[in-house]
Structure 1
């Protein structure tokens, strides 16, 4: 695999401060959090956020809001039908990851991703659709880079991604990696680089020192170096989409 399966680090992190400003709406049978940019900010561009196991919760909503502030129509679908891992369950140590993962397989999640892409492309004026994936969500960004489903992809500290999925991409991909990551390890990062070279697609891999798996979506922002890495990873995504969605 290009990255290992989720481990305990997927369940760690900090709750970020802020008040989400988007709306919960319905896409077919599932809900989505949608943050809209100011009129005329960046016409024609949508970014789909494919989340970690915490789904639609404050940190991921705030990321969507940040994309909207940068001019994108940002769509965060509920990939888990309301069965995301909750902060309360995490705090109470009620999580059985193997059981939870068995309820949310590729056959369960992929149709929601495809429906969200179709929804984004159907919005008035949308010409380009990109996707940003965090942890588990990264797998579905990479899979969507096949067959022209999306036009550009960004992933942070990926999990569950296979070498075959990386090797099959047909659109550009950018990756933010953590120095300390038992899932996207140094060896996995290097092998992914070699695989990306063979795709013929544009790619970027940025490594952030001193941070661990999850830093880009749920890092402890009270730590100066973690805040810097989180903010720079987000800036990486925006710069990548600006570059590739022209």
Structure 2
């Protein structure tokens, strides 16, 4: 089954869900992770009936802007909470949606160190279920966040990892509300996600990524270049899919790559929102 991950109804002549992927669905490489240490400081609340992590900047560093966080298939695990706190430390009010509703992929491993899911676990059915919910929930959730947390002067940015990448592209299209956004090691992207961009996109990419390999990455770049889109590609050698969120922090180079990915995203969003 080829699940649909687009927020728009298909026309009779073009079934977007049948088009080939540029960034493929999450695979086995997405199941493993190094868990980062730290103490998350945000809190959970329900927004549009979906559990949401909220991390607030300290008042003296607040820039008045809001950042949407679209998680990878690990959902609201420590790494995600810590990186949302880091975006808040950079001045943003950060809100992350748990579209997995407490059912991240980590629940379906045999143990915490396992890189495979339990025997008999239907990974495709799991993805299809959560894609369907996320597609329906995210637009309503974004509107609710804007209504509840936005002000007349608020500007919006977004970041997504793996599974979250299409939602970034949607928010950077003419139908979205974000002035700039970024994704790292994306999944579930088709050509139309790049063709329909209307605002700047930062791509943080791994050299060794079977989900978004060199050929597919170059195709995405050619689409954006030929259409005159505003984008920047950040490519790290020697790292794999997941490096920007789940890399091994005991490895000096992986830590550096993760930190440079984060810093680049912050600088990108700061720049473009500063021009608004």
TM-score (norm 1): 0.94
What secondary structure does 1:115 align onto? Answer: helix
Matched, 1:36 2:64: no
Once the two structures are TM-superposed, the CA of residue 133 in structure 1 deviates from its matched residue by 0.4
Q: 1:103 aligns with which of 129, 134, 152?
A: 129
Select between 164-173 and 144-153 the one with higher mean Cα deviation.
Answer: 144-153
Please, which of 128, 138, 141 is the counterpart of residue 165 of structure 2? 138
Instruction: Report if the CA contact (8 A) 2:239-2:254 is conserved.
Output: yes
How many Å apart are 1:201 and its aligned residue? 2.7
2:216 paired with 1:188 = yes
1:179 maps to what in 2?
207
Q: 1:129–1:150: 8 Å Cα contact kept in structure 2?
A: yes
> Any conservation in 2 of the 1:159–1:183 contact (CA below 8 Å)?
yes
Q: Partner residue of 1:128?
A: 155
**1:85 to partner: Cα distance:** 1.6
Q: Is the 8 Å Cα contact of residues 117 and 129 (structure 1) preserved in structure 2? A: no
- Which of the numbers 77, 96, 99 marks the counterpart of 1:76? 96
Structure 1 residue corresponding to 2:226, chosen from 195, 198, 201: 198
Gap change, CA 1:157 and 1:224, over 3 Å in 2: same
| Aligned partners of 1:170 and 1:199 also within 8 Å | no
TM-score of the two chains, using structure 2 as the length reference = 0.84
Which whole-Å deviations, capped at 9, do the CAs of 1:107-138 have from their partners, x for residues lacking one? 42123222332233222535211110000111
Measured in 1, the distance between the counterparts of 2:272 and 2:22 equals 23
CA shift for structure 1 position 40: 4.1
Equivalence for 2:188: 160
Find the counterpart in structure 1 of residue 25 from structure 2. Answer: 5
Tell me how far 1:89 sits from its aligned partner. Answer: 2.7
Provide the residue aligned with 1:226 in structure 2: 254
SS in 1 for 2:72: coil
**In 2, Cα distance between equivalents of 1:43 and 1:52:** 26
Which one has a bigger Cα radius of gyration?
2
TM-superposed deviation, 1:87:
5.5
User: Structure 1's 130 and 199: CA in aligned 2 closer, same or farther, altered over 3 A?
Assistant: farther
Given that residues 172 and 180 in structure 2 are in contact (C-alpha distance below 8 angstroms), is that contact kept between their aligned partners in structure 1? yes
Which residue number in structure 1 is paired with residue 16 of structure 2?
none
Return 5+ residue gaps in structure 1 as ranges.
none
SS in 2 for 1:142: helix
Q: How many pairs were matched up?
A: 245
Aligned to 1:64: 84
- The CA distance in 2 between the partners of 1:90 and 1:228, in whole Å, is 31
- Structure 2 CA distance, aligned partners of 1:182 and 1:66? 28
1:200 offset after TM fit, Å?
2.7
Where 1:33 maps in the other structure, the secondary structure is strand
SS in 1 for 2:22: coil
- Map Cα deviations across residues 128-163 of structure 1 (whole Å, 9 max, x no partner): 111100001111111221124322110000011111
Partner Cα separation in structure 2 for residue 11 and residue 59 of structure 1: 14
Q: For the residues of structure 1 that align with 2:217 and 2:32, how far apart are their CA atoms?
A: 21
Distance in 2 between residues matched to 1:88 and 1:20, nearest whole Å = 24
Specify the SS of the correspondent of 1:132.
strand
